Amino acid sequence: MTDLAVLNCRQLVTLAGPPGPRSGLAMRDLAIIPDGALRIRDGYIAAVGTRGEIESALGAQTEVIDAGGRIVLPGFVDAHTHPVFAGNRAAEFERRVEGATYAEIAASGGGIRATVRLTREASADDLLAAANRYAHWFLRGGTTTIEAKSGYGLSLESELQILRTIRQLAAVSRVRCVPTFLGAHEVPDEYRGRVHDYIDLVIHEMLPLVVRENLAEYCDIFCEPNVFPLDEARTVLRAAKALGLGLRLHADQFSADYGSLLAAELGAATADHLESSTHAALEALQQTGVQPVLLPASVYHLGSTRYPAARRMIELGLPVVLATDFNPGSSPTASMPLVLSLAATQMKMTPAEAITAATVNAAHSLRRGHLIGSLEPAKAADFAIHDCDDYRELPYFFGRDTAHAVYLAGRCVYRGNP
């Protein structure tokens, strides 16, 4: 039995509270314990309290982790990432800076399809090595769980390979991974103009094998009129749901109410992006219990100013989630602290609301609310010691990797520079 105590936390940001995702004013309550401490047994949190309470109950065998007067938070839960791909798109980024749009580049064969070509050519070892490198970037920002999508293979063989790589990543990288099948991310080169044939492949060949090998918990799709239109998206998502997968959708990224209403209709877990959603669509999400996942780093990196209406969502009572959307095209960042900063400055979420969205709300969106996302007894000891005096410094000192040390199930998985 391992027995640990974390002492000397200037702020222990527990996010303890009622079960379930937080909405409205509850998003501002971080349940902070000043000079707090944790007791950990066998990778799970055994007790949470003030330093005095925890210290007085220590046994002779208890190993002490001294947080050095820093702040301690639950590990961030990044509920939307695309971490398995080959190469990158820095050259395309330069073209965008010079005026080409994301849509123009995609239409001319670049974008997602360019990454697909490279990913199909890469060996399994190279894909895992690249993903493992990125996993380290997540840890550096204090993230301990990622939702990880396939979607850069777009053939039966390559999509399965990517999902197996995600499974291996969870084993070797020390980051928890929740896998999502995104076979309908784009129509690959060999199916151009034949979207229905590609959808048949996704439904009749890919999905059954993904489910048989238990390679994914969720199914996602990129809803856009010129990628997967709503009727086609509905067909894919219904098939996935019938096989027992949960649903997450790339919705309303560029086109108004394009995917959010479908998410509501199908009872999806999340609708992600929502840069182009109307008030009516947000109400539909609220009424059907779909959580919005906001991805401000992709808005920033695409050079847009159309951020999702986070304030309106919070006013409507939606349990907002924040994520990086880490991917080589629209959001090449794995930094949750940067996302918190963008949420504050661009979407006017308070630092506390942003932290709630990146921890406990994200955990619930992945059906992991019982295990991660807050520091409470019986939950996994996934936490980060951040080199700050106050939680508000996380979004305030922007562009900096704040994690001093990161722990997964009570084990140190990352140590930053002193």
Positions touching ligand NIG (CB under 6 A) are 111-112, 115, 222, 250, 253, 298, 325, 327-330
Which two structure tokens, joined as six digits, stand for 162?
A: 């990517």
**From Fe ion, ligand NIG, none, which one binds at residue 173 (CB under 5 to 8 Å depending on kind)?**
none
Instruction: Please count the residues of this chain forming the interface with Fe ion, following the rule CB under 5 A.
Output: 1
| Cβ burial, residue 372 (10 Å; 0-12/13-18/19+) | buried
Of all residues in the shown chain, the one whose CB is closest to ligand NIG is: 329
Q: Is 78 in the site for Fe ion (CB under 5 A)?
A: no
Length of the chain: 418
**From ligand NIG, Fe ion, none, which one binds at residue 329 (CB under 5 to 8 Å depending on kind)?**
ligand NIG
**From ligand NIG, Fe ion, none, which one binds at residue 158 (CB under 5 to 8 Å depending on kind)?**
none
Strand order, beta sheet including 143-149: 76-81, 143-149, 176-184, 218-221, 246-251, 270-273, 291-294, 321-322
Q: Which is nearer to ligand NIG, 143 or 253 (CB)?
A: 253
- Give residue for tokens 């990161």: 406
**From ligand NIG, Fe ion, none, which one binds at residue 161 (CB under 5 to 8 Å depending on kind)?**
none
Angle in degrees, CA 255, 256, 261, rounded to 5: 115
Binding segment for Fe ion (CB under 5 A), chosen from 25-33, 36-44, 321-329, 402-410, is: 321-329
**From Fe ion, ligand NIG, none, which one binds at residue 142 (CB under 5 to 8 Å depending on kind)?**
none
What is the helix (H) or strand (E) element at residue 236, kind and residue range? helix 230-242
- Min dist CB 111 to Fe ion, Å, is 12
Partnered with residue 71 across adjacent β-strands are 11, 386
- Min dist CB 330 to ligand NIG, Å, is 4
Rounded to whole angstroms, how far apart are CA atoms 73 and 355? Answer: 9
Q: Which is nearer to ligand NIG, 110 or 410 (CB)?
A: 110
- Min dist CB 302 to ligand NIG, Å, is 8
Rounded to whole angstroms, how far apart are CA atoms 183 and 193? Answer: 17
Q: Which is nearer to Fe ion, 37 or 79 (CB)?
A: 79
- Min dist CB 221 to Fe ion, Å, is 11
**From ligand NIG, Fe ion, none, which one binds at residue 83 (CB under 5 to 8 Å depending on kind)?**
none
Q: Which is nearer to Fe ion, 224 or 325 (CB)?
A: 325
Q: Is 186 in the site for Fe ion (CB under 5 A)?
A: no
Q: Which is nearer to Fe ion, 79 or 139 (CB)?
A: 79
Q: Which amino acid would we find at residue 297? A: A
Which two structure tokens, joined as six digits, stand for 263?
A: 């998410």
What is the helix (H) or strand (E) element at residue 291, kind and residue range? strand 291-294
DSSP state of 217: S
- Give residue for tokens 């067909």: 235
Query: Cα separations (Å) of 169 from 146, 315, 372?
Result: 11, 38, 19
Count the Cβ atoms, other than its own, within 10 Å of residue 60: 5
- Min dist CB 301 to Fe ion, Å, is 12
Q: Which is nearer to ligand NIG, 250 or 386 (CB)?
A: 250
Tell which residue, 284, 352, 342, has the closest CA to residue 313. Answer: 284
**From Fe ion, ligand NIG, none, which one binds at residue 111 (CB under 5 to 8 Å depending on kind)?**
ligand NIG
Binding segment for Fe ion (CB under 5 A), chosen from 107-115, 137-145, 325-333, 349-357, is: 325-333
- Min dist CB 123 to ligand NIG, Å, is 21
Which two structure tokens, joined as six digits, stand for 416?
A: 């930053």
Q: Is 325 in the site for Fe ion (CB under 5 A)?
A: yes
Residues that bind Fe ion (CB under 5 A): 325
